[in-house]
Structure 1
Amino acid sequence: MIGEHTYRVRATWDGNRGAGTTGYRDYDRAVTLAIDGKPDLAASSDKPFRGDPTRWNPEDLLLAALSECHLLSYLHACVTVGVVVTSYEDDAHGVMREDGRGGGAFVEVVLRPRVTVADASMVAAAEAAHAQANEWCFIANSVAFPVRHEASVTVG
């Protein structure tokens, strides 16, 4: 299926403490992200940028999107080659570097999936499926930095 898909999200700033943005320290970075039919997501900036560390920040969301996209693409890749995955867990790690001018960018993300497969005969194909998953991952194909994989596969 080839097509174009459209996504919508409503971001609402909840951080006006009464004086708006009169000063850098005068407002909260609280944001509510909403998509019709889904639970709202409490978001903020990252703690070093005066954000609420109990809320998701854009950097968290980018890393989570890369991790989840690879996971879902990987499961599909495994189905296509007959690999039965019984468990999948990823400890993803991203590095964002500030540029000294108020901005910055991610310079790398490393995904560390730990996969368990049903049979020892599936290990090689399970390892190879990560390359296919990377090719299929919409999010990894949309970023301008490397997304590396340090995967391990075991038999359950």
Structure 2
Amino acid sequence: MTPHNYSIELIWTGNTGSGTTSYRGFSRDHEVAATGPELILGSSDPAFRGDASRWNPEQLYIASIAQCHMLWYLHLATRAGVVVTDYVDRPTGVMVEEATGAGQFESVTLHPTVTIAAGSDPSVAEELHERVGDYCFIARSINTPIRHEVVVHVR
């Protein structure tokens, strides 16, 4: 087993002068940074007093699932002899909030539209999406059910 370590820096930038003296008295704005990539400006979902122009954790959660899925899919396609020429996904997620304010994702649905080269098998291209969950580090680390609504085009 090979360990891989990851680190980021999370900086709250939302102190408007009085810290967290009241729920409405501070901003949810923050920055997510790591050595190398550009800074991510984050906030909470607007439903939770956040800034809609910034990424929220729920969007980043869905993005990480979709990214991992795509990267493993492309790997598996290569190994299966499926030539992918285009891949677009518009993932969605449903989070349920309880009366206490706690919540969780009920589901995430990936909507990949994959274009494959003529001569590649569309049924294999579609079936590979079901196998990704056996490999994707993110999918294997969470409890949220992940569904796939796949469209395959042959070019």
Query: Take 2:13 and 2:73, find their aligned partners in 1: how far apart are those partners?
Result: 37
Structure 2 gap ranges (5+): none
Query: Take 1:17 and 1:130, find their aligned partners in 2: how far apart are those partners?
Result: 46
Q: For residues 6-155 of structure 1, what are the structure 2 equivalents within 5 Å?
A: 6-155=5-154
Query: Take 2:49 and 2:105, find their aligned partners in 1: how far apart are those partners?
Result: 19
Alpha-carbon offset, residue 120 of structure 1: 4.6
Note if contact 2:30-2:41 (Cα within 8 Å) is conserved in structure 1: yes
Query: Residue type of the partner of 1:4?
Result: P
For residues 11-59 of structure 1, the C-alpha deviation after alignment (integer angstroms, 9 at most, x for no partner) is 0000011111111111111100000111110000000000000100000
For residues 84-106 of structure 1, the C-alpha deviation after alignment (integer angstroms, 9 at most, x for no partner) is 00000111110000111121000
TM-score (norm 2): 0.96
Query: Take 2:99 and 2:74, find their aligned partners in 1: how far apart are those partners?
Result: 40
Displaced runs of 4 or more, over 6 A: none
Query: Residue type of the partner of 2:16?
Result: R
**What RMSD, in angstroms, separates the aligned Cα atoms of the two structures?**
1.0
Query: Residue type of the partner of 2:82?
Result: V
Query: Residue type of the partner of 1:123?
Result: P
Query: Take 1:154 and 1:38, find their aligned partners in 2: how far apart are those partners?
Result: 33
Q: What SS does the aligned partner of 2:105 have?
A: strand
Structure 1 gap ranges (5+): none
Query: Take 2:68 and 2:146, find their aligned partners in 1: how far apart are those partners?
Result: 12
Query: Residue type of the partner of 2:23?
Result: Y
Query: Take 2:102 and 2:120, find their aligned partners in 1: how far apart are those partners?
Result: 48
Query: Take 1:40 and 1:121, find their aligned partners in 2: how far apart are those partners?
Result: 39
TM-score (norm 1): 0.96
